[in-house]
Amino acid sequence: MKVRFLIFSLMMATPAVHALENTAAPGLLATALARPLLDQDPGVAAARAGLDVARQEAGILDQSPYEWTAKALTQRRTVAAGGRYGEWNVGIERGVRLPAKGAADRRLGEATVGEARARYGESVHDAARGLMTLWLDWLAAEQAQVLAQASLTGVQENLAAVDKRLRAGDASKLDTNLARAELAEQRRLANDAKTQASAAWARLSARFPGLVRDRVPLPLPLALDQNDDFWRQRILSESEELKIVAAQVAKAEAQAERERASRIPDPTLGVYTASEVGGRERISGITISIPLPGGLRAARSAKAVAAQEVAAHAQELKRRQLDTEIAGELATARGAYESMQIAAEGAKGMQENANLTQRAYSLGEGDLQSLLLARRQASAAANSALQAQLVALKAWYGLLVDAHLVWDLERD
């Protein structure tokens, strides 16, 4: 296969049919293939279990922490110059959670579930990032192997041209040795490319088992038509990191509300009945006990208010960090797209130059050193174009993953 055709394919690669299902990202791994891999990821499964734990915790917080307490007492009364009497006292009592505390506990439970849900979404997002990166690395390694094989074919053509001129008496044995050495070097590079492709697939299949090794052309990214404000708002609205800190702020607020309510102790109410003087006296009544609050409750409330302020500042810090990261990612994506186009044009020109040099050498109008140099430059330019395409793809797909525009990530 000619390197010229490979460069053309690199510039005009057409995604596989099964990958066209995702219109937001043509060429990306199909959602029907990606979602099962993400859902079966151990990190995602652990976060899903953590969400179940949070729901159980919310259910516990919704219930009162107090239980009924049964009390029983028996005694014998001895009266001077009188008889002995059996007496007993039985009753039940229970603490009563005040309404303000119950409302705060329910808010705390909701915030706990919200944080766990955001962490689950973050685990899916991290797995999607990992799948995207490993999948693109594998496709690029496979494409690099194809380029290396094409370069090997070109070097073999060089050797054939040298042998032809040698038989015609127009080349030296030194030229033949140089051509053979170049062939050996290119065979080594082709073997290295094959090894790297196998290693890339091993990493991908080990991290996400179940994916079929179905080689497809490395896709081309699209230009970012939307302005930066669109991407910023979309990514921030879908950011699980921001949702996590928002849930932590809600938890801090609920905890502060709970500690403020706890400055008033919960009462304990009970009823009892008693028998005294051998049953001659019957007593029944109710009991109420309330702890006398001290300075510890006020200190805990002040601590919770301070923690709430810390959480609020952490939320603002996270927002600014995300703003910084998004701005950098957008600039990188736009710059990488332009670099990819420039590299593709350069690779095309270098390949044309190698073809012209090859033709000139075959006609006896050039020297071997120029031919070998042209081949090396074409091979290097093709690989540079491939790497530029990979960088642009990672930047573009990274934005799509962060914005939850692929693989049904918005449902998480």
Residues of the chain predicted below pLDDT 50:
1-23
Strand arrangement of the beta sheet that strand 281-289 belongs to: 69-78, 84-95, 268-276, 281-289
Contact 252, 311 (CB under 8 A): yes
Integer angstrom CA distances of residue 405 from 20, 171, 330? 14, 60, 16
How many percent of the chain have pLDDT more than 70? Answer: 91
Helix (H) or strand (E) holding 123: helix 99-167
Strands 84-95 and 268-276 turn out to be antiparallel
Contact 29, 135 (CB under 8 A): yes
Shortest CA distance to 392 belongs to which of 220, 245, 140?
220
CA distance 220 to 12: 8
CA distance 260 to 253: 11
For residue 183, what pLDDT is reported?
84
Contact 375, 354 (CB under 8 A): yes
For residue 179, what pLDDT is reported?
75
Give phi and psi for 263, each to the nearest 5.
Answer: -65, -20
Helix (H) or strand (E) holding 343: helix 295-362
For residue 24, what pLDDT is reported?
57
Q: How far apart are the first and last CA of the chain?
A: 45
CA distance 384 to 351: 13
CA contacts within 13 A on the Cβ side of 160: 8
Shortest CA distance to 269 belongs to which of 109, 91, 393, 150?
91
**What are the contacts of 324-333 at 24+ separation with CB within 8 A?**
326/231, 326/232, 326/235, 326/236, 326/402, 327/228, 327/232, 329/395, 329/398, 329/399, 329/402, 330/224, 330/228, 330/231, 330/232, 330/399, 332/395, 333/221, 333/224, 333/392, 333/395, 333/396, 333/398, 333/399
Other CB atoms within 10 Å distance of the CB of residue 148: 24
| Residue 272 CB partners (closer than 8 Å, separation 6+) | 71, 89, 90, 91, 92, 284, 285, 286, 287
Domains of the chain, CATH where assigned: 3-66+99-265+298-411 (1.20.1600.10)
Alpha-carbon Rg for the chain, nearest whole angstrom, is 37
- DSSP letter for each residue of 354-386: HHHHHHHHHTT-S-HHHHHHHHHHHHHHHHHHH
CA distance 135 to 115: 30
Collapse the DSSP code of 320 into the 3-class scheme (helix H, G, I; strand E, B; otherwise coil) and give the result: helix
Contact 302, 216 (CB under 8 A): no
CA distance 62 to 69: 20
Q: pLDDT tens across 52-103, in order?
A: 999 999 999 999 898 999 999 998 888 877 778 888 999 999 999 999 999 9
